[in-house]
Each structure stands twice: as C-alpha cells, then as structure tokens.
C-alpha cells in the first residue's frame, strides 16, 4: 500500500488505543493484527533490551521483529512502585490492554482485571496464557510445544510408526494470537454499543483444542484418527501425498465420489470408475491401500508440471508441497501481495503482509518495529503529561 493510500485509509481500527504488555509470540501476534488494521499501539518493554542496552540508549534488536511493526515503544519496569502510576495513566488512556504474563502476575503488580476495570470501565483487557486464567493448570508455565501436546495436536502429527512430534510451525502461538485478536474485536463491538469493556481470555492449549474440532467430530462417531490417520488411505481413499518423477511432493485429494471416476480414468483404471465396489467412498475405503499404490505409481511416472496441469484441468484439488523458499516465489502468493519486502541491515527481506484482506479498509505496514524506548518522551511527556524532569528521575531510578 502506498503512503498516500495509507493516509487516506488509516485502517478499520483507526482511533482504537492499545496498551501492549506482551512479549514472546502469541501476545505480539494479537496486537500486531490490531495495529496492522489501524490501532494506535504503545508497546511496553523492559528498560533493558535484548542486546543489553540500557534505558538511555535506544536498543535495536539484531534480528527483525516483524510482529512489533507499526507500534510505538516505551520502556517501563513493571516491578517498581513508581511504574504503577505510569501504568495507571496508560490504562486510563487506552481502549484495549493486552497482556500475556503467566496468570497471577498482573494481580501481584496490582493490575488484575477488577482493578483495571475500576480504573477504566471502558477498557477491554485481553489476557493470553498457556492454560487460561482459571482452572487447576492456570498457573503452569507453557510454550508452543506444550500447547500442541496438551491440546491433542501432537498426538496425531507425523507417521503412525513414529513418536509424537510437533507440527513444525508455531500453530499454538499464532492461532492464540489470532483468537485473542478476534476476542478483542468482538469485545470492541460490544464496547461501541454499551461503552463497557470486558475480560478476553485466550490460551495456547484451548486454541489447539479448538483446531481439533474435526478430530473430535470423528471421535464422536467412533472414527478416532490417530497419528497419520486423518488422511490415511483407508479414511481418504484417493487422497494422499505423492512424489513425482522429478522429485517434487504433491498432495492430491480425489477422495470424493465426484472426483473418483475422474482420477480413475486419469491413472488408466477406467474400469474402477464404474465398478460398484468403488462407487462410493465408504466402499473405496476397503481398497484404500490399493488405490494409494496405483496413484503413487502414476504420479511417480510424471513430472510435477504435468501432474499439476492434469489435475487442474480435471478440477481435482491438489497442491505442491512448498518450502518457505517456494512460497516466496509462488506467483499466486505474489499476485495476492502476501509478502512485503523491507530493508534490514543492508538486506532486503520479506515479511508476511497484513491479513485478512479487506477490500475497503485493508491493513497496512506503516512503520517497521521501533527501537526499544524510542517513543518514551513522546508518550510520557506529550501524551501522559509527565514533565521532562520527572522523566529524568524515572530514567535514573530504572523505572523507564
């Protein structure tokens, strides 16, 4: 999006004010989504940055921080007494407060939800954690793999004859960030009509549990899919991942009754297109391994471009198994603008573009991530009304 377009369309959340007390991944993903869509976000960070820089030296990370794009950065040591007055003013200012500390921390520093609500009945407090704000596991620490394990995803990931394994992407963190943003948006809708805030509670484990909904539906009818089971030959006869003659993996999903006669003719088994034992998916599941072997042999005898062309022409769902490098070069994703380049330390690097896509009020990347504490004076002095002398004292005492 060009600079002129950004000015004319600041985003659907323009005017929404967010206090960001997040770190790691799930929390910053949540606030990034809100900020990409136009919210003004003040990110509160520890006075010392990741590179050991002190409060009066702006600290720039040695690595890109795309999830902090568009945000303003201030430093604040939440464990100090004087930080409470500062945070109190920020809460009075904000429409949304997002935090992803372990449950109990916000209460220890004097800012659990009942206190936040008393300070600003209008504000929405979104809390992101491993297990949620209540329940017997609430105080447990959790990271990404724990969410996948406890939510049931790890038990069904990978080949059936291998130990449980993680999904290979930050599914728990990112989905929780998305659900946290969704919950915040729903609360903002309610806030608009009532003027009142509420507490939004999102967790790594429960986000994965939500993603396991299809598995639960199968379990309820006696078809619990174990590892490698959701798309096994017996469950999805005609669907699978196959290797082409030139060594590229492709997924083909011809398991429906609509697609079976087409794929049977493509692989040279026209007789099976009309065979009553293969007519419906339930019956084909009895021949799933055989069907998989036939498709595997056919794909292995063709190059990837030829397989893709034939499947596309036939209207059969397919997709090449792409690496990150493949994705970055993919012409469709390029045409859709799913990556945006940025300059970092003399290199041009890609990052994920704002998502989802809105036709009239799309999100935008207006600024890259700030240096830690870059906006201290702007926020503390110009916005919250502290004097420059007070700022100097805060800085000398390690408060900011």
The residues annotated with a catalytic role in the active site are 173
Cis amide prior to 356 (ω within 30 degrees): yes
Token reading at 243? 């290797």
Token reading at 399? 């408060």
Token reading at 132? 């949620």
């Amino acid at each position: 999006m060009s600079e002129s377009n950004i000015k004319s369309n600041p985003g659907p959340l323009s005017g929404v004010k967010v206090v960001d007390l997040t770190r790691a991944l799930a929390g910053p993903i949540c606030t990034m989504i809100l900020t990409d869509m136009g919210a003004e976000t003040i990110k509160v960070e520890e006075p010392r940055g990741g590179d050991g820089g002190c409060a009066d030296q702006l600290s720039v990370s040695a690595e890109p921080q795309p999830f902090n794009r568009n945000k303003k950065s201030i430093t604040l040591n939440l464990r100090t007494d004087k930080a409470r007055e500062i945070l109190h003013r920020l809460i009075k200012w904000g429409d949304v407060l997002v935090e992803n500390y372990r449950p109990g921390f916000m209460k220890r520093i004097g800012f659990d939800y009942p206190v936040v609500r008393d300070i600003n009945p209008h504000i929405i407090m979104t809390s992101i954690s491993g297990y949620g704000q209540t329940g017997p596991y609430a105080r447990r620490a959790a990271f990404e793999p724990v969410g996948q394990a406890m939510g049931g995803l790890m038990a069904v990931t990978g080949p059936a004859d291998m130990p449980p394994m993680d999904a290979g992407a930050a599914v728990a963190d990112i989905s929780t960030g998305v659900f946290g943003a969704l919950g915040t948006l729903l609360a903002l809708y309610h806030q608009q009509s009532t003027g009142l805030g509420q507490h939004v509670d999102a967790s790594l484990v429960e986000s994965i549990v939500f993603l396991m909904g299809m598995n639960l539906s199968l379990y309820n009818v006696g078809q619990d899919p174990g590892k490698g089971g959701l798309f096994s030959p017996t469950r999805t006869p005609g669907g699978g991942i196959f290797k082409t003659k030139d060594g590229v993996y492709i997924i083909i999903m011809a398991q429906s009754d609509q697609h079976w006669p087409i794929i049977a003719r493509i692989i040279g088994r026209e007789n099976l297109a009309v065979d009553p034992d293969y007519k419906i998916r339930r019956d084909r599941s009895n021949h799933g391994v055989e069907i998989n072997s036939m498709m595997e042999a056919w794909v292995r005898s063709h190059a990837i471009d030829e397989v893709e062309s034939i499947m596309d022409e036939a209207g059969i769902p397919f997709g090449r198994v792409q690496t990150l490098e493949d994705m970055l070069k993919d012409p469709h994703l390029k045409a859709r603008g799913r990556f945006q380049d940025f300059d970092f330390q003399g290199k041009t690097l890609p990052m994920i573009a704002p998502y989802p896509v809105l036709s009239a009020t799309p999100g935008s990347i207006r600024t890259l991530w700030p240096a830690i504490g870059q906006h201290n004076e702007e926020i503390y002095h110009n916005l919250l009304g502290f004097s420059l002398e007070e700022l100097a004292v805060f800085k000398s005492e390690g408060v900011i």
